[in-house]
Amino acid sequence: MASNQLLILVSSLLFLQSAFATLMAAEPAKKTDVVVEGVVYCQSCEQAGTWSLSGAKPIPAAKVSVICKNHKDQVSYYKVFETDGNGYFYAQLEGFTMSQCLLEHPLQACHVKPVSSPLQNCNLLTNVNYGLYGSPLRYETKKLFGSNYEAVIYAAGPLAFRPDHCPLPTHF
């Protein structure tokens, strides 16, 4: 009698184990993408030499680059993205992979730089939000969820160009 109960218990456990393994195998791994967003502006002459964007206008079709480096300080990701009609960029970092190394997390490894402005009258780089050296990413708890998909959205900037005809600032 005890051996029959033991046989039933073992059979039940084996059945549950195989059923659980089948369920886990049927559920595909969720893909996690990294996205960087921000805005590129034309800084007004009144604010030249500062980080202020008061009076700034968004630049459509401006280009920014997203650059990520690995723990050996080698470029592991580079791509140029273009802003939309409102100066906004949404950079989905397709192909970007993180290792287990904390230094290769997007907050540590990636930054955004302005590349070019299509405006003839506003195409000089500024250092607003460290644009010259690479604006660091900020995590703002934004995520997108879909079936088998998750996107973690980081922010950078805002970044700016300035007109080349601005007088030198006198407020230093």
Note if the bond before 58 is cis, omega within 30 degrees.
no
Digit-coded pLDDT (tens) for 29-39 = 656 688 899 99
CB atoms within 10 A of CB 24: 8
Range in 11-20, 54-63, 99-108, 140-149 the model is least confident about: 11-20
What predicted TM-score, i.e. pTM, was given to this entire model?
Answer: 0.75
Check whether 6 has a pLDDT greater than 80.
Answer: no
Helix, strand, coil percentages (3-state) for the chain, rounded to 5, are 20, 40, 40
What is the predicted pLDDT for the residue at 113? 96
Domains of the chain by start residue, with CATH: 29-162 (2.60.40)
Report the candidate in 103, 48, 112 with the shortest Cα–Cα distance to residue 79.
Answer: 112
Range in 7-16, 27-36, 65-74, 126-135 the model is least confident about: 7-16
Question: Which residues are CB-neighbours of 157 under 8 A, at least 6 positions away?
Answer: 38, 39, 40, 112, 128, 129, 131, 135
161 and 117 in contact (C-beta within 8 Å)?
yes
Q: Alpha carbon 12 to chain centroid distance?
A: 48
